[in-house]
Chains A and B, each alone.
Chain A
Amino acid sequence: EVQLLESGGGLVQPGGSLRLSCAASGFTFSSIAMSWVRQAPGKGLEWISGISPSGSGTYYADSVKGRFTISRDNSKNTVILQMNSLRVEDTAIYYCAKCGGPMVKQSSDHWGQGTLVTVSS
């Protein structure tokens, strides 16, 4: 059974940093692309970042480019989202999602339960 467990969310001040982790199990992690998607309060889903199976390919939405960094550790079946220079508008539930194959452009066939990030002074 595929399981994705996000952690690392919490309250942070504007301009601060936070590191989200997603622990994956139930599939061959090193062969699958992964993504992060968020949902701000009262808003829709927003794709924010994706990473190829090897980690050599990383992709970002314009809204987070230059501030967020996605990475993965295939030895630990973990994908990381390092979030710097956080803004109030980054407040959202952040979901880790497993892509349907080795390409980030593929659909997300399994999702975690999400972790809440609140950016506020």
Chain B
Amino acid sequence: QSVLTQPPSVSAAPGQKVTISCSGSSSNIGNNYVSWYQHLPGTAPKLLIYDNDKRPSGIPDRFSGSKSGTSATLGITGLQTGDEADYYCGTWDSSLSAGVFGGGTKLTVL
């Protein structure tokens, strides 16, 4: 059971937009920055969004992040088949003094 809650899967057609939610509490998302990662099994996870809404260099602006209260959202526009992957939200939990991840969301581009 993950501390952060994500939908197990989302899907959309190429070119469309999808959002992935991440729900937490005041001890984690509510008082800490959220990051988002893209992970293809067998490869190194890739940072997509940090500090709630910032993109590292090289990440296209099709990827966006937002946070409100104890929830965060990853948005992906102009979906491509190459975007099919698992997506994870992550943050720090001040009560646990530990990092926490969501359970992951599998994105299918139909």
Contacts and interface: CB of A to CB of B under 8 A. Distances in A.
Interface of A: 35, 37, 44-47, 50, 59-62, 95, 97, 100, 104-114
Contacts of A47: 90, 98-101
A112 B44 contact: yes
A45 B104 contact: yes
Decide if the interface of chain B is mainly helix, strand, loop or mixed.
strand
Interface string B85-110: 01010101000111111111000000
A50 B99 contact: yes
Nearest to B98: A61
B33 A107 contact: yes
A107 B90 contact: yes
Contact of A107 (B2, B35, B44, B97): B35
Nearest to B47: A109
A36 to B, nearest CB: 10
Contacts of B92: 104-105
Interface string B63-104: 000000000000000000000001010101000111111111
B101 A46 contact: yes
Contacts of B86: 44
Nearest to A65: B98
Counting chain A CB atoms within 10 Å of each CB, the highest count among B56, B98, B103 belongs to B98
B21 interface: no
Nearest to A103: B92
A119 to B, nearest CB: 20
Interface string B37-65: 10100011111001100001000000000
Nearest to A50: B99
A113 B44 contact: yes
Counting chain B CB atoms within 10 Å of each CB, the highest count among A45, A59, A105, A109 belongs to A45
A62 B96 contact: yes
Contact of A100 (B45, B46, B50, B100): B50
B44 A114 contact: yes
Given A47-B90, A47-B99, A59-B98, A108 B47 contact: yes
B42 to A, nearest CB: 8
A7 to B, nearest CB: 15
